Amino acid sequence: MSKKQTTGLIIAAVIFTVVGIISVVTNTLSSKLLSKEETQSTSFSSFMEELYGSNHAALADMPVAQDFIAVLPIKGTIQASANTSSIYGTTIGYNHDLLMEYVEKLMHNDSNKGIILQLDTPGGTVYEADELYLKIMEYKEQTGRPVWAYMESTCCSGGVYLASTADEQYANRITTTGSIGVIISNYDMSGLYEKLGIKEDNIVSAKNKDMGSGGKPMTSEQKAIYQAIVDEYYEQFVDIVAKGRNMSVEEVKKLADGRIYTAKQAMENGLIDGIKTEEEFNDYVKEKSGVENFYRPRQSGGYLSGIFGSLSSVKEKSESEVLVDLMNQLGSGVPMYYAEPFGE
């Protein structure tokens, strides 16, 4: 064990001890206070939310008496659960539950005057991308308020899917976008299994029940089944982009072969409305909407989750752990609107 790891573990042990003492004290005090007034329960819950975090706490300071434009941070891989870095769930990337709740609250907040989708994502799972897409479209239909999209470093695949909800789309001049398409990834580990003397032996109800299993190569029939799924979701993707960009399906299909585009190329092909720096884009939205105040939700992880999140990064992953993570993310047989991020 390295000196860095040892130091991290010592620090973690000290913090766990302190947290344990604090928990005993707060539990004792709270039990006494709770017996006196019911309102103390709310105060204690708020205190714990500040420590450990929650979606409610992240949105607690949303304006209700001042006009504002809501910024939706769509960062990292779009997926069912938030990317976390600690046992207490510090949110460091995409948080699907938070964004869904956020848009729902905005629909019922008269002070909100529009939404900015702040996109820096390689895309993600088909289900979550479509669920958030439908929620934003519901927001537009119910409120009639505008939606803008701003693409930062990367806005590919599922990011383009979500950007298609916007009335206007802009990108930074060095944005990478496009990758319009669908992918289902599986890993055939049968060759490795054979070398290791491992044989997968499944008891199945029908021949295709274990399709996509890493221990067996797929048959032609199974590949055709997966291809049919990909084709169906691809047609849906193309149709959404066509509607969002006021293009024909045929025009979009010429661009939607999975390739990526620079911001300049995207603009030339009608995939975005313009190229701006973030400052220029923000000024444009303020001028267009007449609203100066932008609201961003707080990070949903609390103070302690932030501490434990940083401590967890002390332990570096082995090559085998990295491989397992990759297989779990991309080799699960789940349909994805996804482009592999550069540099990873």
Catalytic residues: 157, 209
> Which two three-digit tokens encode residue 120?
């820096």
> Is the CB of residue 185 less than 8 Å from the CB of residue 338?
no
The strand pair at 176-178 and 260-262 is best described as antiparallel
Q: Where are the beta strands (DSSP E) in 172-251?
A: 176-178
DSSP secondary-structure letter at 217? P
DSSP 232-249: HHHHHHHHHHHHHHT--H
Question: Residue 263 pairs with which residues in a beta bridge?
Answer: none
Place of tokens 């956020």: 102
> Is the CB of residue 145 less than 8 Å from the CB of residue 72?
no
> Is the CB of residue 75 less than 8 Å from the CB of residue 93?
yes
Look at residue 108 and give its three-state secondary structure. Answer: coil
Q: Which of 315, 303, 305, 306 is nearest to 7 (CA)?
A: 315
